[in-house]
Every structure is written in structure tokens, then in C-alpha cells.
Amino acid sequence: MSSALALCRRAAGRRRGPAAAQSGLAMVEFALVLPLLLLVVFGTVGFGLAILDKVVITNASREAARQGTVYRGVGLRPTSAQVQSVATSYCSQNLVAFNNSRVCTVSLSTDPAALVSGNTLRVTVTYPFTFLGLTGFIDPFGGSNGITLTASTTMRAE
């Protein structure tokens, strides 16, 4: 009788039917879905950071344009170097870059010191953005330099 009881216990412990055929299926499905899930997560984070950096360089161009067009008295307009330093310092303080290259390039349409009231000053800020990927810094568009973010602001001198 004890051998029959042991045989029943062993038979009850074995899986039979559909449950036995699907014992490793969840692991295989996870292995197939994981790369796609990581691609979506890293893509969302990467494009979110690109949008954030675009907002930062837009604000940097606004700050620099405002600095260059404000009238401070006779002969007291800022120089080109002062206006450019406003934008570059704003970028270095606020850009999110994982490779520590928070250097943006600033160009001015005219010299702010020579502006006459009513004329316009255009400040353009460019920043090379590199996406963060699973293997380090990659560009999802096929290059290794990333994309160039550009923002311009035009203001009338006071």
C-alpha cells in the first residue's frame, strides 16, 4: 500500500497537459520583448533630454538678446563678447549633457555696441546634442556626431 501511495504522490507532482508545455514560455517572451522595451525607454529619455536642451538653448538666446538690446545710457551698450558670455554661461549651467560637453556656439547678427535704437539684434545659439544609448553615446540617425540643436532670438534695441 505504501508503494502505491508513493506512486500516486510522484504522479501528482508531475505536470501534464498545457501547463507542462508552457513552463518556460514566460521567460522566452520576456527575452523577446526586453530589447523593444529598452529601446522605447531609452528613446523616450533621449528625446526628452533633446527637448530639454532645446528649451535651454532657446532661453540662452533670449537672455543674450535681451542683454544685447537693453539701453544703459550713452555709449553703454554691451560688447559682443559680453553678450556671447551670457549665452555660454547660461548653457554651461543648465544644459543636460552626460559627456560633459556643455559648450554651445553663439553668433550675433550685428555688434551690440553699434546698435541704434529701433534696430534688431539676432542671437543664434547652436549645440551639438548626442543621444545616450545602451552602448554609450550614439546617434539613432546613424551618425556619431548626434544632431545640432539651434535656437534664434531677434529683439529690437531699446
Tell me the DSSP string of 137-155. Answer: EE-TTS-SS-EEEEEEEEE
Mean pLDDT for all residues in the chain: 81
Dihedrals φ, ψ of 129, to 5°? -95, 130
67: number of Cβ within 10 Å:
20
What is the tens place of the pLDDT at every residue in 110-145?
888 888 888 899 999 999 888 775 445 555 555 555
User: Which of 49, 48, 42, 143 has the alpha carbon at shortest distance from 102?
Assistant: 49
Query: Do 120 and 156 meet the contact criterion of CB atoms below 8 Å apart?
Result: yes
What is the tens place of the pLDDT at every residue in 10-22?
555 555 556 656 6
Dihedrals φ, ψ of 133, to 5°? -125, -175
- pLDDT of res. 85: 93
Confidence of residue 96 (pLDDT cuts 50, 70, 90): confident
* Lookup: cell for 20: 507542462
What is the tens place of the pLDDT at every residue in 11-61?
555 555 566 566 688 888 999 999 999 888 888 888 898 899 999 999 999
Bridge partners of 85, per DSSP, are none
- The ranges assigned to domains in the chain are 30-156
- pLDDT of res. 134: 45
Instruction: Name the DSSP letter for residue 75.
Output: T
Predicted TM-score (pTM) of the model is: 0.73
- pLDDT of res. 146: 72
